[in-house]
Amino acid sequence: MGGILRYIAGRTIQIIITYFIIIIFVFLMASFLPSNFVGLLAFSHFTPQQMAYLKAQLGIGLPLWESFVVFFVHMVTFNYGNSFYYGVPVMSLVEQALPRTLLLLGEATVISYIIGYVVGTFAGWKRGGVLDNTSIYFSFAFYNIPTFWLGIILLYAFAFLFPIFPLGGYVTPGIQGMLPAFISLQYHALLPMIVLVLISLAGALLLMRTSMLDVLGEEYINLAAAKGLKERDVLFTHASRNAILPLITSFILSLPFIVSGAVVTETIFSYQGIGYLFISSIDRLDMPVVYALTFIIALLVLVFNLFADILYGVLDPRVRY
């Protein structure tokens, strides 16, 4: 038990260091590129209060080192100040938007990986069979569809031609009460979630199938069958139980891309989560929000990486901390 705690501690330190490096990286990007965000100030119409904020919070206008210190301190303490556009503290915007995104992403990821796990297991087991080939074609196709286009097509089909789903937003305006609001939220999240599920499913399916093929070549599968186990048990107790491990690794590596998918999907469906907020803030040059979201999202990715690593450790006894 001590081993795992030590591992978490070690990884947390790693995360912090990586986070620091990311802040430095973004700062360098923002400071040294030609049309950097500072330069943008030249022709965007910031009010004096906004200028004051920028100076105080981000160190704009100060010499490089001081600027960096100000920036760094504020970013690590999550002190982002107020949004230019909304005028409210950035964290309050994030508090509102983040749960919506987590709901969307969380549900989509869980669903797609569960389906991927189950279908991939069967697809790999009956290699060359109908399910296998269908899964492969499906995965190939959906792996190569641009997320935004898929979103529009689904909107076109199911919110326009056959209007089952709403055209956008995250909740029906004017809704009262917790439960109706929750249902409305789910209803609105449904179409974006379908998009996300389809996209991640492609990757998860393929990977699970490949992983299954690897595992099926292992001797212990033969052993399991030789012991007289039922087909189902061989499949799930032995084969996919091992095949899922690379799936977790891939999940970790694909997190940054899942987040990207969320950004696009939210924008298409006007689903006011973190991704939507990010894109609209960049368009509006709402700097505090842009910085805040960049770092928060990066941090989230890092934290989820850690969760996945721990999960991997739980599932694979060969990994010992």
Partner 1 sequence: MKKYLNSIETTGAFRRSVRGVLRAFRRSPSGIFGLAIIIAFVIMAIFAPVISPYTPDQVAPYSIQFSGDIGTIPINISSVQQPLSIVSSLGGGVGSSVVTNGIMVFNEKGQSLTYNLGVTGGNHSQLKLDVKGSSYHSIPKGIKSLYSVVYYKSVGISYIGYGNDTVYLLYSNLSVHYLYHVGFNITHFSGIFNRYIYDPYLPTMGFAVSGGNHTFLFIEEGNFSVFTNSLSFYSFPLYFNTSYPVITNPLPYLYLDHSPSIIIPTTHKIYDYSINVSRQLTYYKLSAGNIVWSQNLTLRDGTPYSILKTGIVFPAESASLDYNQGKNVVVVPTTNGFILEYSTRNGTLMSEVQLESVIQHTSVPFQGGNLVALWSGVYVTNQISMPISFFKPDITYVTFWNPDQSNFTGISYTIAIPGKVHGDAQVIQSANMFMIPTESYAYYMSIVPPTKSSGNASTPILPMPSGSNYYPIYIGNILLGGASTIISGNYVITITNNNTIFYESVVGYKVSPLPPGNYKDSVTGKYYSYPLGTDYEGHSILSWIVYGARMELVIGITAAASAVLIGVYIGILSGYYGKAMDAVLMRLVDVFLSLPFLIFVILLVSLLGTNIWYVVIAIIVFSWAGIARVVRAVTLSLKTRPYVDASRAVGASNTRIMTAHILPNVLPLTFFYMSTGVGGVIITEATLDFLGFGDPTAITWGMLLQFLQTTGYTLLAPWWLFPPGIAIILLSLSFYLVGRAFDEIVNPRLRRR
Partner 2 sequence: MALLEIRNLTIYYRLSEGWVHAIENVNMDMENGERLGLVGESGCGKTTLAYSITFLLPNNAYLKKGSIKFLGRDLTTLAVRKDGRINMFSEGLRGIRWKDISIIFQSAMNSFNPVITIGDQIAEAILTHENIGKEEVRKRIEALFEIVGIPKDRIDSYPHEYSGGMKQRAMIAMSIALNPKLIIADEPTTALDVITQDKILAELVKLQKEFNSSMIIISHDISIVAQLSTRIAIMYAGQIVELALTREIFKGPRHPYTMALLKAFPSIKGEKKRLATIQGSPPDLINPPKGCRFSPRCQFAKERCLIEEPLLREISPGHTVACHFAEEVSGGR
The four Cα atoms 170, 176, 182, 185 give a dihedral, to 10 degrees, of -10
Q: How many CB atoms lie within 10 A of CB 258?
A: 20
Q: What is the distance between the alpha carbons of residues 109 and 58, in angstroms, rounded to a whole number?
A: 35
| Residues sharing a CB contact under 8 Å with residue 309, sequence separation 6 or more, in sequence order | 11, 252
The CA radius of gyration of the chain, in Å to the nearest whole number, is 23
Provide, rounded to whole angstroms, the least separation between the CB of residue 216 and partner 2.
Answer: 10
153 part of the interface to partner 1, by CB under 8 A: yes
225 contacts partner 2 (rule: CB under 8 A)? yes
Question: By CB under 8 A, how many residues form the interface with partner 1?
Answer: 51
Binding to partner 2 (CB under 8 A) within 129-148 occurs at none
CB 94 within 8 A of CB 185: no
C-beta of 6 vs 126, nearer to partner 2: 126
Residue 307 CB, nearest distance to partner 2 (Å)? 19
The verdict on 159 binding partner 2 (CB under 8 A) reads no
Among residues 73, 223, 253, 311, the one that binds partner 2 under rule CB under 8 A? 223
Q: Please give the residues from 58 up to 97 whose contact with partner 2 meets the rule CB under 8 A.
A: none
| Least CB distance to partner 2 at residue 133 (A) | 14
Q: How many Å apart are CA 4 and CA 319, to the nearest integer?
A: 10
- 227 touches partner 2 by CB under 8 A: yes
User: Which CB atom, from 185 or from 234, has the smaller least distance to partner 2?
Assistant: 234
Q: Is 297 in the site for partner 1 (CB under 8 A)?
A: yes
**According to CB under 8 A, which residues from 225 to 254 bind partner 1?**
253
- Report the nearest approach of partner 2 to the CB of residue 314 (Å): 11
Interface with partner 1 in residues 193-212 (CB under 8 A): 210
Residue 30 in the binding site for partner 1 (CB under 8 A): yes
CB 68 within 8 A of CB 59: yes
DSSP 144-202: TS-HHHHHHHHHIIIIIIS--S-SS-SS-TT--SHHHHHHHHHHHHHHHHHHHHHHHHH
Task: Rule CB under 8 A: choose which of 26, 75, 103, 196 binds partner 1.
Answer: 26
For the chain, the maximum distance between any two Cα atoms, rounded to a whole number of angstroms, is: 78
Kindly tell me the number of DSSP H helices and DSSP E strands found in the chain.
Answer: 13, 0
- Cβ-in-10-Å burial (0-12, 13-18, 19+) of 141 comes to exposed
Nearest approach in angstroms of CB 1 to partner 1 is: 27
Q: How far apart (Å, rounded) are the C-alpha atoms in residues 126 and 132?
A: 7
Give residues in contact with partner 1 (CB under 8 A).
Answer: 18, 21-22, 25-26, 29-30, 33-37, 140-141, 143-149, 152-153, 155-156, 160, 210, 213-214, 217, 253, 255-257, 259-260, 263-264, 267, 278-279, 282-283, 290, 293-294, 297-298, 301-302, 305
Give residues in contact with partner 2 (CB under 8 A).
Answer: 126-128, 218-220, 222-231, 234, 237-238, 241-242, 245, 315-318
